[in-house]
Amino acid sequence: MKSINDLGDLKGKRVLIRCDFNVPLDGETITDDGRIKAALPTLKQLTEAGAKVVVMAHLGRPKGEVNPKYSLAPAAKRLGELIDAKVTLAGDVVGESAKGAVAGMAEGDIVMLENVRYEPAEESKVDAEREALAAKYAEFGDVFVSDGFGVVHRKQASVYDVAKLLPNAAGHLVAKEVEVLKKLTETPQRPYVVVLGGAKVADKLSVIDNLLKVADTLIIGGGMGYTFLKAKGYEVGTSLLDAEKIDTVTGYMKDAEAAGKGLLIPSDAVVSPSFPSGDGPFEKTTVASDSMPADQMGLDIGPETAKAYADAIMGAKTVFWNGPMGVFEVDDFAAGTKAVAQALADTDAFTVVGGGDSAAAVRQLGFPDDAFGHISTGGGASLEYLEGKTLPGLDVLEGN
């Protein structure tokens, strides 16, 4: 996989770059600009080299239709505030506005195409449709740089197909992500602890299967924890439950025991009569995991569990964390997630926060990015890499 340093002199050349600017918005206000900041090292190197930089990115799921709600205007505005370069947002993706904007570029300028997912062919399952759109993208560039790690697990026109049409390289962000994930899968310092949370077991089944082979201890929290508790025969009330996966989870617990691996599940939980909505404070009780009332819902790990998880993290040399421990967006149910984040920040271990909700959680809870070894920009991509899957957007770069 080439780096942008292998592309030679880029002065005056048009560099087509795929970024991931799928940032969370409150109206038109970006609430977490981490993904835009993560792209800056690559973008700055390109503009300072005198390249004409054409950015492809997406936001949300407009499903092939133009929808102002998903415009990249807030991302273009924020990028312009963060970088010493002229940033122009085209009014379309591959239409007359985009063509005109690219044609009028000077060296060091940035043109951001509108949301690539406005184009129906971007996410098409039909190869020929994606390839036709990719050919239009390729007209805007002399070389292609892949720097949107959050989408490299997708076979999409702006990620996969366009890379076949132009000389290509990985940007600094993608290169860093791959370096970190290789370390986690191939050469982790031990003890290696993996913390998995979030809503559904089904989303992480394959990664659990794979990580049981590499990790020394697997810690389970969040909504997926209740499926593990149910597999032990406990009452879980109205908590999130993936009933179809109970047998699979039972198998994982047996496999972990047979292999001498640690598999930690919650010993207590913070419960409430219903999912929180509106303003708090909310009614909540801490109960032992084997004593959950049938009419209550688990919304966070309890303090005993939080301490046990923090202790396991503090004893590790490598930690990967993906998925919050509870409904961290609500203060009353954020303590478990905060305890895990604090332990990651305090330990001397190499720590990786696996993107998505985990990255949002640490920032929302007030932790600086440099409190951790690495914060991934791609939750789904990170998990699929750790599962051992082939990621199309990386595979296509390896092939050049």
Q: Is 332 annotated as a binding residue?
A: no
Q: Among the options 200, 232, 261, 284, which is catalytic?
A: 200
Catalytic: 34?
Answer: no
- Helix, strand or coil for residue 133? helix
Catalytic: 35?
Answer: yes
- Backbone dihedral angles phi then psi of residue 385, each to the nearest 5 degrees: -65, -45
Q: Is 78 annotated as a binding residue?
A: no
Q: Is 190 annotated as a binding residue?
A: no
In whole angstroms, give the CA distance from residue 59 to residue 72. 7
Find the angle CA(323)-CA(318)-CA(391) to the nearest 5 degrees: 60
Catalytic: 200?
Answer: yes
Instruction: State the SS3 of 283-333.
Output: CCEEEEHHHCCCCCEEEEECHHHHHHHHHHHHCCCEEEEECCCCCCCCHHH
Asked if 37 and 43 touch (Cβ cutoff 8 Å), the reply is no
Q: Among the options 356, 378, 379, 393, which is catalytic?
A: 356
Q: Is 154 annotated as a binding residue?
A: yes
In whole angstroms, give the CA distance from residue 200 to residue 209. 15
Q: Is 233 annotated as a binding residue?
A: no
Neighbours of 1 (CB within 10 A): 17
Quote the tokens at residue 195: 């913390």
Closest CA to 227 of 194, 199, 269: 199
Asked if 140 and 105 touch (Cβ cutoff 8 Å), the reply is no
Quote the tokens at residue 20: 């991931």
Q: Is 395 annotated as a binding residue?
A: no
Angle between the N-to-C axes of helices 34-48 and 73-82, in degrees from 0 to 180, rounded to the nearest 10: 60
Q: Among the options 50, 64, 373, 380, which is catalytic?
A: 380
Q: Is 58 annotated as a binding residue?
A: yes
Catalytic: 8?
Answer: no
In whole angstroms, give the CA distance from residue 341 to residue 234. 28
Percent helix, percent strand, percent coil in the chain, to nearest 5:
45, 15, 40
Q: Is 153 annotated as a binding residue?
A: no
Q: Is 60 annotated as a binding residue?
A: yes
Q: Among the options 13, 14, 18, 35, which is catalytic?
A: 35
Q: Is 130 annotated as a binding residue?
A: no
Number of residues assigned to the chain: 400
Amino acid at 62: P
In eight-state DSSP terms, residue 114 is S
Q: Is 117 annotated as a binding residue?
A: yes
- Backbone dihedral angles phi then psi of residue 240, each to the nearest 5 degrees: -55, 135
What are the start-end ranges of the H helices in 124-239? 127-138, 172-186, 205-214, 225-231
Q: Is 141 annotated as a binding residue?
A: no
Known binding-site residues for substrate equal: 20-22, 35, 58-61, 117, 154
Known binding-site residues for (2R)-3-phosphoglycerate equal: 35, 117, 154
Known binding-site residues equal: 20-22, 35, 58-61, 117, 154, 204, 298, 329, 355-358
Residues annotated as catalytic are 35, 200, 356, 380
